[in-house]
Amino acid sequence: MPSDNAIPPSWQGVLAPVLATPEAQRLGGFLRAEEAAGKTIHPPQGTRLAALDLTPLDAVKVVILGQDPYHGAGQAHGLSFSVQPGVKVPPSLVNIYKELETDLGLPRPAHGNLTSWARQGVLLLNAALTVEDGKPASHQGKGWEAITDAVVGAVAAKAEPCVFMLWGNHARKKAERVAGLGADSHHLILTAPHPSPLSAHTGWFGSRHFSRANAFLEAHGRGAVDWRV
């Protein structure tokens, strides 16, 4: 694990055992070698654990699982599906906003920064937390999965009911590996096709995940998420 990304306090107990494993050590070595070779890695150092920093474990209400960060310059900043202010809203996020408009009547935002969600307990997590510039999925299978599996598992182990939004086959398969997310789970597990333009019309639109999540959270005394951006 690279030293520039300190583990936020609330996640240290969860991740300390994982970071001591050979898999995590290989990840750190891989990232250092890639950067030493002059490759551009997204998001930049110091922001790769932003999801954990902005959403402490005890605050998590909702988990939205992505696959890996955006691979274009200036886009990724450590939160799945989110981009920096001033960056064009990516197509998948455009479709997320369309569903928010249909589901909750919210106007489509002009920017793509989802930090306000993260600060309310929405863990915007990718399976891999880095990617090489211009090469989607290039850091999958390099060690991040053990770390992010531990994060998902820690949320699944929480006594408080949470909502897991699993969009696309990759997110569903990741959740299936985690104990506590079976059919008898006390959490709400919402699945739908990925919101990308390739699959959004096969069931993402009309899934109403946002209103369903809020109804569940309110019914369990956890308070609704304000999905306005």
Q: Which residues are catalytic?
A: 68
Element (H, E) at 192: strand 188-192
Q: Given the structure tokens 């398969």, which residue do they identify?
A: 173
- Say which amino acid occupies 146: A
| Residue 139, C-beta contacts closer than 8 angstroms, at least 6 positions apart | 30, 41, 68, 128, 129, 130, 131, 132
Nearest to 46 by CA among 14, 77, 17: 77
Q: Quote the tokens at residue 171.
A: 């997110």
At 20 the three-state DSSP class reads: coil
Where do we find the tokens 């920017």?
A: 111
> Please, where are the H alpha helices in 127-229?
144-156, 169-176, 209-219
Question: How many Cα atoms sit within 13 Å of 217 on the Cβ side?
Answer: 22
